[in-house]
Amino acid sequence: MKRLVSLKYFWAIALLLTVFPVHAQANRTQGDAGLTEGLSEPKSTNVSEEYTAFLKLLRSKDTAAQWKFLAQWAGIGQQDPEFYVCYANYYLNLANKEVIQMSTNPPQNGKESYSIQDSLGNTVGYMYSVPSMDEELSAKSRYWLNQGIARFPRRLDLLFGKVHLFGLMRQHDSFGTTILQAIDKSVDNDFQWQWSKGIELQDGKQFLFSTCQDYIAKLFYSDDSLGLIWIEPISLALLEIDPKNVPCISNLAVSNMMLKRWSEAIPYLEKAYALDSQDDIVLANLGYSHFQLQNKSLAQKYYKLLKKSKDAQNRELAGEMLKLAKKLK
């Protein structure tokens, strides 16, 4: 399982690289359809000729040819779930644009930009491109997803396609509520889901949990704090299904840590530790929470355990924090 350790979006945490955010899954690859970007896609040859032909047009970026093909397919494709996937992706690609932005601050993540200088040669601003979603075209993409979901309710890729779309549009409330809908429907259908190209998911429960955890990681790493409020309800909904799920329990702890509620975070971390005493994220965050509360012996205890990690970066972190913890009174 991949561990995420970058902390640049942890606005409430000290500048030391000491807090681990969330557990994220590593089994993700980009599929053919943009609406399931980043999600693993089981391989299948059980697709129509029309679907295969449209994917070639999609990759060619010839939107006129794509529209002509979809119009022709519409007469025969209503019973093909990939028809709705393709229509939604057509509008998604049209909606996805870039606009030029000017700011007094440089772009994050080292993104390329042009500096603006005054007559004295001083940098006074920056100009760079940022992604933007056209609302009208996005609504059309969402329309075709909803049509597909209504006709093929077991197609989880269509439902998660909506989640992906709302994420691109930074509509956090719709993003969160759609994930909760997916969780509720999973309980109702006993996790019997299909994925892209009609593949039956062999372990729908595991797939749901790992994918939701990836979406939670996106919320943690978002530069918009409005998305953070959805981490708790999503994690709690998953815990109703699996009360011993360590990543979800850890999510609740880190939500409190981001608000510097160290005492409130510790019970969640202790519960996670009781379930998995080898989890690096849990150990690091237990150490850091006790460090913030000036609990010297407990901070040292958990950082000493982290120092036994198989991960060299985590061992290094533990060593640095043990030096700092030693200075506590």
pLDDT, average across residues 55-66 = 92
Residue in the block written with tokens 């060593």: 319
Taking the complete model, does pTM exceed 0.75, yes or no? yes
Give me the amino acid identity at 132: S
The pLDDT of residue 52 is above 50: yes
CA proximity to 163, closest of 30, 59, 39, 10: 39
pLDDT in tens, 64-101: 999 999 999 998 867 899 999 999 999 999 998 766 76
Count CB neighbours of 17 within 10 A.
Answer: 17
Cα separation, 222 vs 8, in Å, equals 10
- Residue 81: CB atoms within 10 Å: 23
pLDDT at position 24: 58
Chosen CATH of 1-34+199-329 out of 3.40.190.10, 3.40.50.970, 3.30.70.2190, 1.25.40.10: 1.25.40.10
The residues spanned by each domain of the chain are 1-34+199-329, 102-131
* Residue type for position 276: D
Distance, in Å, from the CA atom of 219 to the CA atom of 229, rounded to the nearest integer, reads 9
Please tell me which residue, 136 or 118, carries the higher pLDDT value: 136
pLDDT confidence of residue 129: 66
d(CA 158, CA 246): 28
Query: Looking at residue 309, what is its pLDDT?
Result: 95
What does the mean pLDDT of the chain come to? Answer: 84
Winning range, highest mean pLDDT, from 24-28, 152-156, 195-199:
152-156
pLDDT at position 71, please? 93
Of 153, 150, 147, give the one whose Cα is nearest residue 86. 147
CA angle 187, 188, 194 (to 5 degrees): 85
* Digit-coded pLDDT (tens) for 314-328: 999 999 999 999 999
Q: How many CB atoms lie within 10 A of CB 236?
A: 13
Sorting pLDDT into bands at 50, 70 and 90, what band is 102?
A: confident
pLDDT in tens, 6-31: 222 222 222 233 445 566 554 443 33
Highest mean pLDDT among 48-57, 129-138, 159-168, 225-234 belongs to 159-168
Neighbours of 76 (CB within 10 A): 11
Residue with more model confidence, 155 or 112: 155
